[in-house]
Structure 1
Amino acid sequence: MSNLMSSIDQRTKLVGENRLELLMFKLGSRHTFALNVFKVKEVITIPKMNQMPGSHYHINGVTNYRGDSIPLIDLRSAIKLSHNNANYEPTSVIITEYNRSVQGFIIGQIMNIVNTSWSDIQPPPNSAGKNHYLTAITRVDVDGHEELVEIIDVEKVLAEIVAYDTSISDEILDHDVTAHLNGKKILIVDDSATARWQIKETLSQLGIEIIEEKNGLAALNKLKAWADEGKNIKDEILMMFTDAEMPEMDGYRLTAEVRDDPRMHDLFITLNTSLSGSFNEAMVEKVGCNRFISKFQPDMLVQVVQERMREVLEGKG
């Protein structure tokens, strides 16, 4: 298992190339599930854990991980798979970092890692309804046959366990600036409905209108359609928030495509992602984002929007 994850640092180079690698595993059903390797810190056998009275029922306990106590979440239970499989035996824990927090997901059989392109990752079909826990699907070759792989929407899982507060601190509001935000439009690009909801709930408090797209390709097509109609992109929207990892086209490629189009190259773009750290800051500089913030920080969202509005008022953008 350690060998499986030993080259994870080398794999980060895929980010920004519209590619990713998926860690595939089982949860005691015929389905194959996956998480993006870049969000995985380590895979370990199930450790000793302590019960935490009053914790969420999807949390099996807490354990010490590199000096810190982290929750261990029963992923099968969290995505509401049936519990009637008597043969299912959880064996491993995927340690992940999302939204500046570390947690472990208890899973069954670890399979392997596959290298693929975001262009081969597709949104879940509309027939899946609204209550599923998938952010995307793809097909990969497993032992000589093609298999459907379901990529879990971890942000939705975590949002149901740890409630996110979308309130805005009064002390960060610049009322001379926020007075101009009412009716302004912002484009949000994120494959997670939960993430889009969090941003919308935060910014709508300032009277901002939100335009949503589920992936980078859809967002790019919308921007190009406006430009083809002769519209000034900055008249249509104040700015754009984009996730990094999305089906069909990731946020890095989306940003690079926007910067290469003279009709929209100066659009204010903020990368808003559950991935964190200096690597993302380097990627922001490489592709030309204006800002990078890690999810989910309501006050930081508002500060970035105020910063952008202030630039407009001062005639700087």
Structure 2
Amino acid sequence: MENKGILLESGTNELEIVEFGIGHNKFGINVIKVKEIINPVQITTVPHAHQNVEGIIELRGEVLPVIDVARALGFPKSENPEQDKFIVSEFNQQKIVFHVHTVTQIHRVSWTQIEKPSNMYQGLESQITGIIKLNGEMVLLLDFEKIVVEINPESGINVQQIRKLGERPNSEKRIVLAEDSPLLRKLLFDTLSEAGFRHLEFFENGKDALAFLEGLVDEGKDIAKEVHLLITDIEMPQMDGHHLTKRIKEHETLSEIPVIIFSSLITDSLRHKGNMVGADGQISKPEIAKLIEMIDQFAL
């Protein structure tokens, strides 16, 4: 299954998810992370690999790692291995194959339909970024970035990248950030603080960030002095980063705020989606040093 031709117009606050199964549980992955879905092929085992990595495969001349999603989630092996599928994905500037048990269908949903996981299971050990109720059943959106970072911590945001930039003075720039992952919010706070930024306002989705900005306007505040830059993820419950950017750029007062999209979904083939909604800059996670350089460029 190729994902060409089913990508949505930018800024609609919708997404399409591929529904797949692990055991009797239903999960989802954003279509724009999916390159294709194939039947399992021969896997070459890699010595001393992480326990969740089954090995590597060759696909059209590329060598790709295969992650056993069931094992990563602590679930049993497939009961019907002949139905298993490989989801070939691309995000965070890398291609990875996820071994799942079944792939069923594609759903088009609004981010407003996606609920934030309860605090009861939203600890750092949780792999769920959102819950969608479809046809009386729950489909769980998996945090694939977290699954990958647990295998290879170097693929995540790293404060060491900031230290390579050398000594930096404290900045008075006021930055608003929209990021739904508690883990990434902490990493962004740590790394941006290390880079000298002391005025950081975090929100866990685009809806809350937009409400904050509109509230400043309603209070008669000078937006140019209150907010120097907005940094947003793309995938967030309630309102995604593309729709947030579109709303800001269409707003009479807020439109002058520079917007940087910082997401694992920034690829050459998807960059046009951010351009269409008026983003001033786009940086792929986990390139935090490039983000800092772009902040310096825009938040003057």
TM-score by length of 2: 0.90
Q: CA RMSD in A?
A: 2.1
Counterpart of 2:234 in structure 1: which amino acid?
A: A
Task: Give the ranges of 4+ consecutive aligned residues of structure 1 lying more than 3 Å apart after TM superposition.
Answer: 85-90, 169-173
Q: Which residue of 2 aligns with 1:159?
A: 149
Sort the Cα spacing of 1:67 and 1:198 in 2 relative to 1 into closer, same or farther, 3 A: farther
User: Quick check: 1:99 aligned with 2:100?
Assistant: no
Q: Tell me the equivalent position of 2:110.
A: 117
Aligned equivalent of 1:242: 232
Contact 1:93 1:107 survives alignment (8 Å): yes
TM-score (norm 1): 0.85
- Per-residue deviation at 1:168? 2.7
- Unmatched tracts of structure 2, length 5 or more: none
Correspondence for 2:222? 232
1:105-184 equivalences under 5 Å are 105-130=98-123, 131-141=125-135, 146-163=136-153, 164=156, 165-168=158-161, 172=165, 178-181=168-171, 183-184=172-173
Question: What is the identity, as a one-letter code, of the residue corresponding to 2:181?
Answer: S
Among 54, 58, 69, the residue aligned to 2:63: 69
1:203 pairs, out of 186, 189, 192, with 192
Give the Cα separation in 2 of the matches to 1:23 and 1:80: 21
**Contact 1:155–1:194 (8 Å) recurs in 2:** no
Following superposition, the deviation at residue 103 of structure 1 comes to: 0.5
Asked if 2 retains the 8 angstrom alpha-carbon contact of 1:28 and 1:88, the reply is no
* 1:180 shift after superposition: 4.7
- 2:6 is the alignment partner of 1:11: yes
Q: Which residue of 2 aligns with 1:25?
A: 20
Inter-CA distance 86–46: structure 2 relative to 1 (3 Å threshold) = closer
Q: Which runs of 5+ in 1 are unaligned?
A: 313-317
**Following the alignment from structure 1 to structure 2, what is the Cα–Cα distance between the partners of residues 248 and 113?**
20
> C-alpha distance in 2, partners of 1:147/1:14?
27
SS state at 2:286 partner: coil
The equivalences for 1:214-229 within 5 A come to 214-229=204-219
Q: Secondary structure at the match of 1:9?
A: coil
Instruction: Write out per-residue CA displacement over residues 77-98 of structure 1, whole angstroms, 9 at most, x where no aligned residue.
Output: 21333x3x78364711111111
Q: Separation in 2 of the partners of 1:134 and 1:88?
A: 25
Comparing 291-300 with 229-238, greater Cα deviation is found at 229-238
Q: Aligned pair 1:41/2:31, yes or no?
A: no
CA distance in 2, matches of 1:237, 1:272: 17
Q: Distance in 1 between matches of 2:295 and 2:58?
A: 38
Deviations 1:135-186 (A, max 9, x none): 1111112xxxx2111000111111111113331366645x6xx4251x5432
2:79: which partner in 1?
A: 87
Deviation track 1:274-312 (CA, whole Å, cap 9, x = no partner) reads: 113344332232211110111110210111122124xx2
Amino acid corresponding to residue 263 of structure 1 in structure 2: T
Give the Cα separation in 2 of the matches to 1:15 and 1:171. 35
Bigger mean CA offset, 187-196 vs 220-229? 187-196
Provide the secondary structure at the position in 2 that maps to 1:12: coil
Q: How many residues are matched? A: 294
Maintained 8 Å contact 1:269/1:290: yes
For the Cα contact (< 8 Å) 1:167–1:298, is it kept in 2? no
Distance 1:14 1:94 in 2: 23
* Whole-angstrom distance in 2 between the partners of 1:51 and 1:127: 37
The alpha carbon displacement at 1:249 in A equals 1.2
Letter in 1 for 2:126: H
Match of 1:191 in 2: 180
Q: State the match for 1:307 in structure 2.
A: 297
